[in-house]
A and B are shown apart, each in its own frame.
Chain A
Amino acid sequence: MGNTIIDGLKERISNAISVNQSVGIMLPGNNYSDLTQALFEFMNSKPKTAWVYVTITNPYGSIEKKFGDMFDKGNIRFIDGISRAAGIYEINPNCVFIESPSQLEKILLEIMNAFRDLENNIQKYLVIDSLSSLLTYNDVSLVTEFFTHLSNRTKLEDIHSISLSIEEEMEENISKILYLKSNKIIKVRESFI
């Protein structure tokens, strides 16, 4: 059952991101684990593409523990916005640790820096995990402004983006901006997978 869900999610992600510059994914909390599994499997299956994964939901250390075997292609770089704030002082060459998830400008800078180091002809992808987690640490208007800046920059720089949001944590204005700025919205429902 688990594999069917993950394969279904992978297929939907693959179909959406191959034809759309920006994809928003809205999902219930109980599907979060399956979705991240599907995302990492998808990234691992595209070794010639470059990914920047911004995590505000789980610390990098726990992601590495769970999905570390899928980082072996060296095509995923991480930006961790929560470890430092939680007092976790890890150092890893594959991850930039931001002091606090409220330093949204620093997150923006590090995203653009991570892509700047890459060759021009490589296909670039960004994952924001997640907009709803940012709401735990920031006011709605700031997250909206952050996402607007980010969407504009990624469009200009030809970077594909996948932005996650957990339905239970979601706020109306963030949903609106996610709809407005995404070329495609995937609503995860087990019945659709």
Chain B
Amino acid sequence: MVEDGVYVYNETHEGKNVDKESGTLHEKCKTGIEELDRKLGGGIPVGNSVLMVGSSGSGKTTLSMQFLIDGARHGERGVFFTITEPLFKLIKNMENFNFYDKKLIEEGKVNIIDLRIISDRLGLDTEKYTVDDANALLDVLKDIADELNVKRLVIDSITALCYRLQSKEMIRNFIFKLGASLASTDCTTILTSEVPPNEIKYSQYGTEEFIADGIIFLGDVNRRGDIIRTLQIIKMRGTAHSRTKSAMSISSKNGIELAPLLKSRE
């Protein structure tokens, strides 16, 4: 329903919204971050691929892991493909957060897989991929997701993955193949994208955003020398979402939290 140019959705039941005008049911995948879900109009539309963009230390990995763990708690199996951090280091970092639940990992409800180990097992050069290597890796990713019957998938990061490809053309082809591959699943996916600090761009190679249904930008603002983390939903297909910038906090007790960003001119 459109009221004053704004789409209004009625939340009917857990995680699902109905657009009053079209009657379409948009099934939502809750991130587990209350304020973010509110901004997303209930959550990420199921099946969307979301580019989580930010510089180093902006909270991409933490947010992605919180998303997977919350899903697992609600019966949705997830998989986290890492290519940036060794498994032991990633888990050690996550153990600092109260939301982390070792049992969910042990029970296979959240699967953490190091893509470098897979590459190694496939006999690929872990630092340089050919077109065939990239395709083989993509097939393995899809097979794992299918076999585990996962509903939530994270690749951390698409930037590091593409870094191993040798040319812009290869990167472009790989990203489009990845997009097609993800679109054929009913998985809700987060692809993390690393960008340099203080730059408003959504990807390193300029292509990643075109396969994404949504973009969430993690940035920061400088206040008298102190850095305030921020989060902004740039786009999200299939849901009426907020576009305002929020202040973001990361704490061991509550993981990611959002608050209204104070916007007064300094």
Residues B250-266 near A (CB distance < 8 A)? 253-254, 257, 259-266
For A, the interface residue count at a CB cutoff of 8 angstroms equals 19
Given the known inter-chain contacts A100-B226, A103-B228, A113-B254, please indicate yes or no for A141 contacting B266, CB distance below 8 A. yes
* Any B CB within 8 A of the CB of A108: yes
Cβ A142 vs Cβ B261 within 8 A: no
**B249 contacts A141, C-beta separation under 8 Å:** no
B92 CB–A CB distance under 8 Å: no
- Do A105 and B224 touch across chains, with their CB atoms under 8 A apart? no
From A4-12, A66-74, A144-152, the one touching the partner chain is: A144-152
Contact of A142 among B253, B259, B262 (CB under 8 A): B262
Known contacts: A113-B254, A139-B266, A141-B266. The answer to whether A105 contacts B261 by CB under 8 A is yes
Of chain B, the residue at the smallest CB distance from A104 is: B262
Are A102 and B226 in contact, with the CB atoms below 8 A?
yes
A80 to chain B, nearest CB (A): 15
Residue in chain A with minimal CB distance to B224: A102
Give residues of chain A (83-116) contacting chain B, Cβ–Cβ below 8 Å: 99-100, 102-106, 108-109, 113
Find out whether the CB atom of B260 lies under 8 angstroms from the CB atom of A144.
no
Chain B contacts with A in 214-266, Cβ cutoff 8 A: 223-224, 226, 228, 247, 249, 253-254, 257, 259-266
**Known contacts A99-B226, A100-B226: A109-B259 contact under CB 8 Å:** yes
List of A residues within 8 angstroms of B247 by Cβ: 105-106, 109
Assess the B249–A106 pair: CB atoms within 8 A: yes
13 contacts between A and B (CB under 8 A): A100-B226, A102-B224, A103-B223, A103-B228, A105-B247, A106-B249, A106-B259, A108-B260, A109-B249, A113-B253, A113-B257, A145-B262, A145-B263
Q: Which residues of B contact A (CB under 8 A)?
A: 223-224, 226, 228, 247, 249, 253-254, 257, 259-266
The 6 closest A-B CB pairs, nearest first, are A105-B247, A141-B264, A105-B259, A109-B259, A145-B264, A100-B226
Chain A residues with CB under 8 Å of chain B are: 99-100, 102-106, 108-109, 113, 137-139, 141-142, 144-146, 149
Known: A109-B259, A145-B262. 15 other contacts (CB 8 A): A99-B226, A103-B223, A105-B228, A105-B249, A105-B261, A105-B262, A106-B259, A108-B260, A109-B257, A113-B257, A139-B266, A141-B266, A145-B263, A146-B262, A149-B262
